[in-house]
Amino acid sequence: MKFLIVTGMSGSGKSGTINILEDIGYYCIDNIPPQLIPKFAEICINNGQMKKVAIVTDIRGGELFLELDEGINYLKENGMDTSILFLDAGDDVLIKRYKETRRKHPLDEQCHGSLQDAINSERKILASVREKADYYIDTSDLSMGQLKETIYAIFLNDPKDSMVVKVMSFGYKYGVSREADLVFDVRCLPNPFYIPELKYHTGTESCVSDYVMSFEQSRTLLAKLEDMLDFLIPLYIHEGKSQLVIAFGCTGGKHRSVTYAEAIYKYLCGKDMKCRISHRDIEKDR
């Protein structure tokens, strides 16, 4: 099990980082006191299904945070692949972020309302943790997209794993898919519905898919779609998109759209993309 501890300066982007890690398969918990780390680790071990875990623990825990070393030692002694990610930003950037969000610093009361003093105090408290960190990211000049790229580069073996592609089919007679990012209307192709021996079959069956793809325009369209997705998907990954939904629609959602959804799903799987497939309307009016 990989156990990642995310910590660092307040306002440096830990919450955003944990969201990114969750998108790439980490089981994540925000703001856990160090004293609970051993108990949580025990739960993870007994679960047996958690392969990658990330937790945020920081100065919000007050004096409890000072016991972080004990939690880290427990993890390592129990054979967990433990690492620390430390997030930081310049004082001027942190001050600007706090002013924009109008939130109080966790050490605000102890520092009598002085944000600069609170930041200075936090840096002193975190100094030892920063020295032990396995990974360090300064978010001062990073956009959210750039932060995602940085996280992906560190924690992903393959950048393609950063995005899940969902391929789906639907029928226009039941309404256009609302979750789709890309929608392709294949009603322009010959309809197997009007072939008596194919009417009650679906695009998951070879008799229907072979019929749909027997036409030159169908094969040409598929080739152009594959070429377009080869171009688009790396761009979506580069921009930090965590899920892409590609939808194919035909009249009833049973023949042409299913055929194309299945074909594109197999094509993307062949390129080692993380894919899922669903046919929204395939069982309607059966």
Position 81 pLDDT exceeds 90? no
User: Which residue in 224, 194, 228, 198 sits closest to 210, CA to CA?
Assistant: 198
CA distances from 243 to 124, 162, 199, 235, 281 (A): 39, 9, 34, 13, 21
Average pLDDT over the chain, rounded to an integer? 90
CA neighbours closer than 13 Å in the CB half-sphere of residue 243 = 11
**Which CATH architecture group holds 2-156?**
3-Layer(aba) Sandwich (3.40)
Q: Tell me the C-alpha distance between 212 and 76, whole Å.
A: 57
What pLDDT shows up at residue 238?
A: 82
Q: How confident is the model at residue 193 (pLDDT cuts 50, 70, 90)?
A: very high
pLDDT level of residue 160 (50, 70, 90 thresholds): low
Six-digit token string for 77? 């002694």
98-114 pLDDT tens trace: 999 888 999 999 999 99
Which of 39-43, 119-123, 145-149, 271-275 ranks highest by mean pLDDT? 119-123
Residues 269-274, mean pLDDT to the nearest whole number = 91
Tokens 């074909």 sit at which residue? 263
Average pLDDT of the residues in 176-202:
94
> Quick one: angle between helices 256-269 and 216-238, nearest 10?
50
- pLDDT tens-digit series, residues 202-217: 999 999 999 999 999 9
Which residues, at least 6 apart from 249, have a Cβ–Cβ distance to it below 8 Å? 169, 170, 171, 172, 176, 177, 183, 184, 185, 186, 187, 257
What residues does CATH 3.40.50.300 cover in the chain? 2-156
